[in-house]
Amino acid sequence: MWRGREWGRVQWALSGLFNARNAAIAAVASGILIQREDPTCLQLTSLNAFQGVMRRQQVLSESSQLIAIEDFGHHPTALACTLESLRARYPNHVLVACFEPRSNTAARKVLQDGFRKALALADVTLISAPHRAEKLGAESFDGLGVSAELVSSGRRAFSLTSPEDLLIKLRTVLSGLDKPACVIFFSNGSFGGIIPRFVSGK
């Protein structure tokens, strides 16, 4: 919609309000650049073929029992929007969030409560040790504290000392499920190289 009239209709592979808002903002900005008075001159048909970008709800593997997704999310709002999107997309799956607090802000306590609220949207949460924890000291993200709060609110949550330990725990958790699972890896880094290993089963 643009000023009360329909602009166009789009059918695409992406899910969630987060992606829809991004597309709408991009369309308006592009349309205004073409014709300021009427941005609807921009045709939206190219969005039908848009498959998204790398590391943004990127589906790495998919079977009847397991879906593995990677996302660059490193802010509470991004995590929350992505988890809400995946919940709507895979309502019959156990939603497993694996989080590496790695960015300058994510690795610190400053946004810790926001991350706790976002991760509460998952059924199971596994938190790896924050990046540069030894240098941050008391400022470092408290994975143990966050996981304890999630458990007290009725979620399953685990704080692990390394990506390697997280991978081991993840496999243990998945082996005990009686429903299909959707595993989402949140990191703006490499997550210690465990993501391709998980996908390949190594």
My answer on whether 111 and 176 are in the same domain is yes
My answer on whether 108 and 191 are in the same domain is yes
For residue 29, give the H/E element and its range. Answer: helix 17-34
* Claim: this prediction has a pTM higher than 0.75: yes
Print pLDDT tens along the chain (202 aa): 677 777 777 776 666 666 667 777 777 788 788 877 777 777 777 666 665 555 567 889 999 999 999 998 878 998 999 999 999 999 999 999 999 998 778 778 889 999 999 999 999 999 998 877 677 678 888 999 999 999 999 999 999 999 999 999 999 999 999 999 999 999 988 899 999 999 998 7
Which residue in this structure is represented by tokens 């156990």? 94
Cα separation of 130 and 101, whole Å? Answer: 5
Beta bridge mates, 96? 124, 183
Q: Which domain holds residue 193?
A: 58-200
What total number of domains does the chain contain?
2
Pairing of strands 66-71, 181-186: parallel
My answer on whether 110 and 174 are in the same domain is yes
**Any idea what the CATH number is for the domain that residue 99 is in?**
3.90.190.20
